[in-house]
Amino acid sequence: MSVVRSLIKFNPQKLHKDQWGFHLVLLILSLFMLLPIVFIVNHAFKPFTELFAYPPTFFVKMPTLENFRLLINFSAESGIPASRYVFNSLFTTTLVILLTLLISSLAAYALSKLSFRGKHVFNKVNTLALMFVPIAVAIPRFLIIENLGIFNTYLAHIVPMLAMPIGIFLLKQFMDQVPDDLIEASKMDGAGNWRVYWNVMLPLVKPALVTVAILTFQASWGNSESSSIFMDDESLRTLPFYMNTLVAQSGNIVAGAGLAAVAGLVMFVPNIVLFIVLQNKVMDSMAHTGIK
Amino acid sequence: MITETKKGKVEPKIIKPVKTRLSLKSKQSWTGILFISPWIIGFLAFFAYPLYRTVFMSFHNVSFGLKTGWRYKWVGMENYQRIMFEETDFVVAAQNFFVQTLLYVPVIIALSIIIAVLLNQKIKGKIIFRLLFFLPVIILSGKLMENMDTYGGMSLTANEFILESLYMIIPSKDVVLLITSLFELIVQLLWFSAVPILIFLASLQKISKEIYEAASIDGASPWSSFWKITLPMVYPLVSVCVIYVVVFLANFETNPINSIIMQSKYDGSRREGYASALSILYSLVQLAVIAILYYSTHSRSTKGR
């Protein structure tokens, strides 16, 4: 009840009495949303005794930097410098995001606002593609990569990631909400399809674009499969693969658990940085973009 | 604002019909194809063709030798028969997935609508709250959830302070356990609801305040304006979210079926052929879940309007 009541009281000057309720509910729930981060950070600083303690503890009691020292030692010993893997990851992830955004927004624009033969078929096909488990196509993908001749190149990291039906799906849903009148009006003013796409459509669906970018980043940044299946050359492999091998190579379970904890934190830091940078744009209300 | 939208609505409708239609249509169909062609190419190479190969392999016994290369032996429906009638691991896991998803998805959708409505309020620290609720989008992974589970991060019962204060309020032990386990489940489901929240929030922000104002002047109670205005406005997006959530749950790393498929790829007696048949059957199960949920929400949305 009270939820809606305050919807109707516009621009409350002070904190309204009803709103304490919202704050309480949101606060409690958001505490639980914070749990994963608290856990990752805590986990990385745990000494061995706490990593293997029974019953397991959630919070760290005696934080150490030991795990970090281990990680640095191990990476100093390996043949290829860690910076190489970082570069590989950054390079491929950036390209994947840019190309995915371009391809899927172009396709989504066509599917949503242009009329051409076979449009409905494509629409259905994309929604169906969404529902087939990626594993269903993962098995023969290796053969295709080999036949295309991009085995053991950067392209093998990038190209398979570009076919992401979920990106087109989300973008199309947002573009469907942009009124046709707006598109027609700008066409009346002499804008061609490309111009409408670039100057009208893309700015309007910015929140969706950023969302897709974040989803793509996550998929690409954490992807260690392409390194292990499509790569032979060690110097072309990416950071998540490197982290996995470090943990596996460390030889004993104790060091491995510590390394895994730090690796989790290291892989997670770019995620949170990117998110904080982009969060403004994700939550930019669509109301301000003139779609209303 | 109002005059602008009026202009946009009236002008094109008057001018449009006669002159531009024909030439525009044929031109548009070509640009349409042009716009979508990069996707078509990628789709054919990395989706349609692999899918065809998977179907092909599921009817074969696949083996790989260093000298002989890939060899396929036609076995007909044998792979499917083994999965459905001889070996039980997939059937049991698929049943669990089916029931679980059918129960979880409506809860996730309801939770995310409620949270989206809450986040759309004028509250203090709105930005921080929004940030927190979108966080799972970027950090949720199967590995992390397993890790947290083993270290007791997801259970309230591990936290003695909360448990004891609950016992203070509620005397019965069973009731306390019921409450805590329900709460744990809800928290888990909340982590899956980040993208649905995002989608609902975007559509909530498009509802103009004038509608609520008009409704309240006509004497509508807040309760009824939630059911009559807010819900119908966000309802069209429910089926979108249903598809997204089911696909997400099905592909999530902790899902046991995915590991069954990956393992049977390397299992000597099963190999790629069996794994392909598994993944096709799994996709069909997923399609069935989506079909049930989609049509049960879809028909209501048309009735509501």
Residue B47 banded pLDDT, cuts 50, 70, 90: confident
Domain assignment present for A52? no
- Specify the range with the lowest mean pLDDT, choosing from A62-76, A134-148, A198-212, B216-230: A134-148
pLDDT classification of A290: cutoffs 50, 70, 90 = very low
Q: Over 80: is that where the pLDDT of B157 sits?
A: no
HSE at residue A147, side-chain half, CA atoms within 13 A, is 9
| A95: amino acid identity, one letter | L
Query: What mean pLDDT is predicted for residues A105-132?
Result: 85
Tell me whether B58 touches chain A (CB under 8 Å): no
State both tokens at A264. Answer: 């989790």
Instruction: Report pLDDT for B2.
Output: 43
For residue A224, what is the domain's CATH number?
1.10.3720.10
A244 has a pLDDT exceeding 90: no
Residue B172 distance to chain A (closest CA, Å): 24
Number of domains chain A contains: 1
- Do the chains contact at A163 and B46, CB–CB below 8 Å? yes
What pLDDT was estimated at residue B153?
A: 57
Is the link from the previous residue into A55 a cis peptide, with omega within 30 of 0? yes
Q: Is the pLDDT of residue B166 over 80?
A: no
Chain A positions touching B240 (Cβ under 8 A) are: 169, 173
Assess if residue A96 is contained within a domain. yes
Token pair in block for residue A77? 């010993």
**Cβ–Cβ below 8 Å for A218 and B138:** yes
* Partner B contacted by A198 (CB < 8 A): no
pLDDT exceeds 60 at position B304: no
**Residue B224 clears pLDDT 90, i.e. is over it:** no
Name the percent of chain A lying above pLDDT 70: 85
Residue in the structure block whose two tokens are 């919070």: A59
Task: Report the gap between the CA of A233 and the closest CA in chain B (Å).
Answer: 20
Helix axes B2-15, A180-188, angle to 10 degrees: 70
Q: Which alpha helices (DSSP H) does chain B contain, by range? A: 2-15, 17-43, 49-58, 78-81, 89-119, 126-139, 142-150, 160-169, 173-192, 194-204, 209-217, 222-225, 231-234, 238-251, 256-266, 271-304
CA atoms within a 13 Å half-sphere pointing along the CA-CB vector of B48 = 10
What percent of chain B has pLDDT above 70?
A: 80
> Looking at residue A282, what is its pLDDT?
64
- B230 interface with A at CB cutoff 8 Å: yes
Q: Which of A91, A103, A86 is nearest to A155 (CA)?
A: A91
**How high does pLDDT run on average in chain A?**
79
**At residue A215, what is the residue type?**
L
Q: Mean pLDDT across chain B, nearest whole number?
A: 78
pLDDT band at A137 (very low <50, low <70, confident <90, very high): confident
Interacting residues of B143 by C-beta distance below 8 A, sequence separation 6+: A264, B253
Give exposure, B115-145, as e/b (b: 16+ Cβ within 10 Å): bbbbbbbebeeeeebbbbbbbbbbbbbeebb
The whole-angstrom separation of Cα A262 and Cα A51 is 12
Which B residues in the span 257-276 are in contact with A, Cβ-Cβ below 8 Å? 258, 261-262, 265, 272, 275-276
H or E stretch covering B61: strand B60-65
In the predicted model, is pLDDT for residue B247 greater than 90?
A: no
Angle at A53 between CA A52 and CA A57, to 5 degrees: 110
Q: Are B134 and B197 in contact (CB under 8 A)?
A: yes
Q: Are A66 and A255 in contact, with CB atoms under 8 Å apart? A: no
3-state secondary structure at position A118: coil
Q: Can you tell me the mean pLDDT for B205-224?
A: 84
Q: Which residues of B155-164 are buried (b: 16+ CB within 10 A; e: fewer)?
A: bbeeeeeebe
Name the token pair of B36.
């979508």
Residue B35 touches partner A, C-beta closer than 8 Å? yes
Q: Where would I find the H helices in A149-285? A: 154-162, 165-176, 180-188, 193-195, 202-204, 206-221, 225-229, 239-249, 253-283
- Residue B101 or residue A260, greater confidence: B101
Tally Cβ neighbours within 10 Å of residue A284.
15
Model-level ipTM above the cut of 0.85? no
Please give the model's pTM, rounded to 2 decimal places.
0.78
Q: How confident is the model at residue A9 (pLDDT cuts 50, 70, 90)?
A: very low
Q: Is the pLDDT of residue B154 over 60?
A: no
Q: Domains for chain B: give ranges and CATH numbers.
A: 82-304 (1.10.3720.10)
Identify which has the larger pLDDT, A176 or B105.
Answer: B105
Q: Measured between alpha carbons, how far is A285 from A291 in angstroms, rounded to an integer?
A: 10
Residues A142-167: tens digit of each pLDDT? 778 888 888 888 888 888 888 778 88
Domain assignment of residue A45, yes or no: no
Provide the pLDDT for residue B3: 43
Question: For residue range A61-104, what is the model confidence (pLDDT) as tens digits?
Answer: 788 888 888 888 877 777 778 888 889 999 999 999 999 999 99
Q: Do B243 and A130 touch (CB under 8 A)?
A: yes
Q: How far is CA A160 from the centre of its chain?
A: 16
B-facing residues of A in 43-62 (CB < 8 A) are 43, 55-58
Q: Between vectors from CA A262 to CA A256 and to CA A268, what angle results, nearest 5°?
A: 130
Interface test with B, best of A5, A8, A180, A186 (most B CBs within 10 A): A8
Contact A39 B11 (CB under 8 A): no
What number is the average pLDDT over the span A8-19?
52
- Which of B36, B250, B261 lies closest to A107 in CB terms? B36
pLDDT-based confidence at residue A286 (cuts at 50, 70, 90): very low
Mutation to test the A interface, candidates B71, B117, B151, most A Cβ within 10 Å: B151
Query: pLDDT value at position A17?
Result: 61
pLDDT tops 70 at residue B75: yes
A52/A207 Cα distance (integer angstroms): 43
The pLDDT tens digits for A15-57 are: 556 667 777 878 877 877 777 788 788 888 888 777 777 666 6
Compare B146 and B227 and report the one with higher pLDDT: B227
Predicted local confidence at residue A105, as pLDDT? 93
Q: What is the arithmetic mean of pLDDT over B136-142?
A: 70
**What is the C-alpha to C-alpha distance for residues A196 and A138, in angstroms, rounded to an integer?**
37
Mean of the pLDDT values across residues A220-248? 82
Give me B40's structure tokens. 């078509």
pLDDT at A47: 83
> pLDDT confidence of B185, banded at 50, 70, 90?
confident
B243 touches A at CB < 8 Å: yes
Please give the residue that has the higher pLDDT: either B93 or A36: B93
Instruction: Find the domain containing A218 and state its range.
Output: 80-286
Q: Is residue A192 part of a domain?
A: yes
- Cα A161 to Cα A180: distance, rounded to the nearest angstrom: 32
Nearest CA to B293 among B110, B23, B149?
B110
- Distance from first CA to last CA of chain B, Å, rounded? 26
- Does A127 score more than 50 pLDDT? yes
Say how far apart CA B153 and CA B139 lie, in whole Å: 15
Residue B11 predicted with pLDDT over 50: no
Question: Which pLDDT belongs to residue B10?
Answer: 45
Within-domain flag for A42: no
CB contact under 8 A, B32 and A114: yes
| Domain assignment present for A43 | no
| Model pLDDT, residue B297 | 82
**Rounded distance between C-alpha atoms, residue A178 and residue A202, angstroms:** 11
pLDDT band at A126 (very low <50, low <70, confident <90, very high): confident
Residue A1 pLDDT greater than 70, yes or no: no
Q: Please tell me which of the candidates B16, B31, B275 has its beta carbon nearest to residue A114.
A: B31
Q: Is residue A92 part of a domain?
A: yes
- Answer with the residue of higher pLDDT: A273 or B69: A273
pLDDT, average across residues B151-155: 59
